[in-house]
Structure 1
Amino acid sequence: MSVNTPTLITFLIYIAAMVLIGFLAWRSTKNFDDYILGGRSLGSFVTALSAGASDMSGWLLMGLPGAIFIAGISESWIAIGLVIGAWLNWLFVAGRLRVHTEHNNNALTLPDYFTHRFEDHSRVLRVFSALIILVFFTIYCASGVVAGARLFESTFGLSYETALWAGAAATIAYTFIGGFLAVSWTDTVQATLMIFALILAPIMVLLSTGGFEPTFAAIENIDPTHFDMFKGATFVGVISLMAWGLGYFGQPHILARFMAADSVKSMRAARRIGMTWMVLCLAGAVGVGFFGIAYFAAHPEQASAVSENPERIFIELTKYLFNPWIAGVLLSAILAAVMSTLSCQLIVCSSALTEDFYKAFLRKNASQKELVWVGRAMVLLIAVIAILIASNPENRVLGLVSYAWAGFGAAFGPVVLFSLLWKGTTRNGALAGMVIGAVTVVFWKQMGWLGLYEIIPGFLFASIAIVLFSRFGQAPSRAMIERFDTAEREYRDA
């Protein structure tokens, strides 16, 4: 038997279970609302874990531990920023968005919500927001495909090209079949697997290096600055890392979980569950990268793969420290992280193409069955494009994620916040904010000005544009204000 046989069997069992969930969800998918948003039926537990799993992609088990392994604890500013941003998102956006989307023509997608919230009869908001989703999510999907390919490449010795298709196939299968319900149910399983792996792995690394004191002493001998939160830090650098938290307000795949909750009353419990899960997972990921410094210093003969690509650190530690059967379960956590995020991104892209282009412009009277099948076809289309983007083996997961995260955060984040918190926001304000946010991210990324993460100027300029264009343009209609007030009252009374 090959040394990888237990891991292979574990992977196959895991993938088969996910596809089975897809078939079960298929039986519950009666119409396009079910396929795209699960019929707004998610309870607090599924809402919380699904939002967490869809957020924490392969970046959690590959990108973050790799960054910590190279630079030390100073890279954990990203994790701190993400925790603050996620908590504020649950607090200010989650419940309100659930209510406001229902009051605005029971909107199923963000473009649909923007269209009805701002009474955009020209539908330019719908088109532009759907285009933003397609552009940045295709890049985001590519990051998931890269992470999956790295996993299969490292675990089974496949070529990068073969691993690329193998890693994406299972996710495409259950997303295609089961839609949003399959994605949400599998997310819950995957979130459980991820937290199990991220609690167990750093504990095993610590045990293998002799506990906290010997581990910390070894890291200090290698480089004492690994303990310095401000190592090589500048004000711009720390702010850029913390600013990842701003991205939460505009991520369509996370916001869709809020929209799909069974009621606004579920949000309080969901927030507590989701934040506890997130903090434990991020702490585990930081621990894997940090303690891994000591482990590979003590075992330099095992460090070649990590030296070549630090994002493989979780994979390599798991292979060396665990029984092959347990390793298979833990490595499935990376597959879980990749699949959970990639699947919900495919669904959001599919909904944008189907609801916001096909139905809105081509087939207004299309049947529910037709829309479901068009949605499935769009899943395949976006998946193939993402695989083509990911085909460059030099791609890094964190780099792809950071670009897409900034794009959504700047283009949608301010618009979502203003639409929920300020009744004076107008269509022109929303459109200006969206355009300026997206364009700023693209240009700032290309120019690299000041070394500042592009989400910061994008978010700032978009917010200023929303206020200016709303203040000095046509005022919101009475119907818009009444809908806003009704939704806000319902939210506060819940």
Structure 2
Amino acid sequence: MEVLFVKLVLLILYFAIMVCIGIYCRKHATDVNGFVLGGRSVGPWLTAFAYGTSYFSAVVFVGYAGQFGWKYGIAATWAGIGNAIIGSLLAWAVLGRRTRIMTQHFNSATMPQFFGQRFQSKSLKIGASIIVFVFLIPYTASLFNGLSRLFGMAFNIDYTVCIVLMGVLTGIYVIAGGYMATAINDFIQGCVMLVGICVVIGAVLNSQGGFMEALRGLAQVSDPEMVNGEVPGIFASFFGPDPINLVGVIILTSLGTWGLPQMVQKFYAIKSEQAIHKGTIISTLFAFVVAGGCYFLGGFGRLFSDKIDIAANGYDSVIPAMLSGLPELLIAVVVILVLSASMSTLSSLVIASSSTLTIDLLKDNVIKNMSDKKSVFIMRCFIVMFVVISMIIAIVQYKQSISFIAQLMGVSWGALAGAFLAPFLYGLYWKKVTKAACWVNFVFGAGIMVLNLACRSAFPTLLQSPINCGAFAMLAGLLIVPVVSVFTRKPDQAMVEEAFACYDKKAPVAQKNALSD
């Protein structure tokens, strides 16, 4: 009884802090720029943690870590390393500065708005916003997955109550304080994630006699379902049993961040050049610890095979089974860790969805002369709507065990990144990108993932996996955009020069960065 009381106090304290921060940040959320971007004055620590916590949710900790750790063993850690190097370090280095400069030049607050202004195309903006709206909803609902077993294990609370509690409290602080409240809460949640993952890894490995003993135990495990029969030591090997599909996982979960609206939007709000440099380092280290730690932990899942029935309970049961033998207070820490990861990502997604629907679809198309005050009010209404829809989808999926919804969630990441990555990247760097190339890539990226969901068996064996198909969509886009741009009508030269003029604007810098004459 005493332990349960301590756990409830921790949970209530955690939620109270989140809500208080949202109320405190109301002064930053009075106009669109403040509500969506925090006034473009967010420092390196808040931006880096907002990026990292939006990147890694319960989907990674419970779902992906369990699934890929079970399939690839300790080699699954490569996915976490890829997330840190490609998904964080290179993303900040390649996209950070240019995204901040050009989006401020256009005064754009969303990715669809960027496309509309960069290519002077209202239809492109509307098309991009529809893709965001369609595919962010199921992705948002997926954040609730994996929480049910952990919450039941720690508090004996029904999953439906957990969903409602998490959705309502996230909605409160996002509606009240907008992006700034989200960024500050993300920082706190990120600290919880950093400490939590280190403690959990240490406890799980200690339960197996330490790292070396756990690795020796993993080396004794074989997979009788493999084509070549039993191969002892394969799950403790450097590249694991299936390196080709592992590469697909790395590409989708790492390169995918370059085209996700809720991730790229973090660069819109960063404060300064110095903040970009610091944020790059902080974000990369955060990803190494959190993502690397999650996949590393999942790699030892087969040591607990006596507690796991994949056929009956799926891969989401792997991590909870690994944690079931830990002390109750530590399990409570894990639940708060997973809640932190989920709430931070949920807040980013609902802001991205509501801002896109308000600014890119309704403003000037349905509602003329929409004021800033009215825009913020409508965005807050949409946040409520998105949270409610996501909760309903998650509850229906849980109660009815509808696999179609779960598959749709898996397709969302690939569709968004496949549609947006190449046009956004080339749009920042290359003057010759055409509107037609963007349209072709939008249709290809979103279309191939919908087809993969609808008629997966018709795809080549390698692309039947949504993971591999999403990775293929992103890589193919890097070829589609330049090729189509070469053969379609060139953009207006004056428009392009005006767009890229922002990069040539003179800015004084310290002598440590550039010597004066």
Q: Give the paired residue count.
A: 485
| Identical-pair percentage | 26
Aligned ranges for residues 92-491 of structure 1 at < 5 Å? 92-104=94-106, 106-120=107-121, 123-223=122-222, 224-233=233-242, 235=244, 237-244=245-252, 245-294=254-303, 296=304, 308-315=313-320, 317-318=322-323, 320-322=325-327, 324=329, 326-390=330-394, 391-393=396-398, 394=401, 402-448=410-456, 449=459, 450-452=461-463, 453-490=468-505
State the match for 1:13 in structure 2. Answer: 13
Q: Judging changes above 3 Å, is the alpha-carbon distance between structure 1 residues 146 and 493 closer, same or farther for their aligned structure 2 residues?
A: farther
Separation in structure 2 between the aligned mates of residue 421 and residue 366 of structure 1, nearest angstrom: 32
Separation in structure 2 between the aligned mates of residue 473 and residue 179 of structure 1, nearest angstrom: 41
When the two structures are superposed, what TM-score results if normalisation uses the length of structure 2?
Answer: 0.87
Q: Which amino acid aligns with 2:450?
A: V
Asked if 1 retains the 8 angstrom alpha-carbon contact of 2:67 and 2:316, the reply is: yes
State the match for 1:55 in structure 2. Answer: 55
Asked if 1 retains the 8 angstrom alpha-carbon contact of 2:66 and 2:316, the reply is: yes
Asked if 2 retains the 8 angstrom alpha-carbon contact of 1:60 and 1:285, the reply is: yes
Q: CA deviation at 1:110?
A: 0.7
Q: Which amino acid aligns with 1:191?
A: G
Asked if 2 retains the 8 angstrom alpha-carbon contact of 1:7 and 1:327, the reply is: no
Asked if 2 retains the 8 angstrom alpha-carbon contact of 1:78 and 1:241, the reply is: yes
Deviations 1:304-336 (A, max 9, x none): 899835434544555532352x44233211000
Q: CA deviation at 1:49?
A: 0.9
Q: Judging changes above 3 Å, is the alpha-carbon distance between structure 1 residues 471 and 220 closer, same or farther for their aligned structure 2 residues?
A: closer
Secondary structure of the corresponding residue to residue 364 of structure 1: coil
Q: Judging changes above 3 Å, is the alpha-carbon distance between structure 1 residues 69 and 472 closer, same or farther for their aligned structure 2 residues?
A: closer
- The worse-fitting range, judged by mean Cα deviation, of 106-115 and 78-87 is 78-87
State the match for 2:229 in structure 1. Answer: none
Stretches of structure 2 that go unaligned for 5 or more consecutive residues are 223-232, 510-517
Q: CA deviation at 1:442?
A: 1.7
State the match for 1:66 in structure 2. Answer: 66
Separation in structure 1 between the aligned mates of residue 129 and residue 220 of structure 2, nearest angstrom: 52
Asked if 2 retains the 8 angstrom alpha-carbon contact of 1:183 and 1:343, the reply is: yes
Asked if 2 retains the 8 angstrom alpha-carbon contact of 1:411 and 1:438, the reply is: yes
Asked if 1 retains the 8 angstrom alpha-carbon contact of 2:58 and 2:338, the reply is: yes
Deviations 1:63-116 (A, max 9, x none): 233125523124344334323321221111111100011112x10111111111
Q: CA deviation at 1:474?
A: 2.6
Deviations 1:14-34 (A, max 9, x none): 111111111111132221211
Asked if 1 retains the 8 angstrom alpha-carbon contact of 2:43 and 2:271, the reply is: yes
When the two structures are superposed, what TM-score results if normalisation uses the length of structure 1?
Answer: 0.90
Q: CA RMSD in A?
A: 2.6
State the match for 1:33 in structure 2. Answer: 33
Deviations 1:238-292 (A, max 9, x none): 3322221221210111111101101244211110110011011122213322345
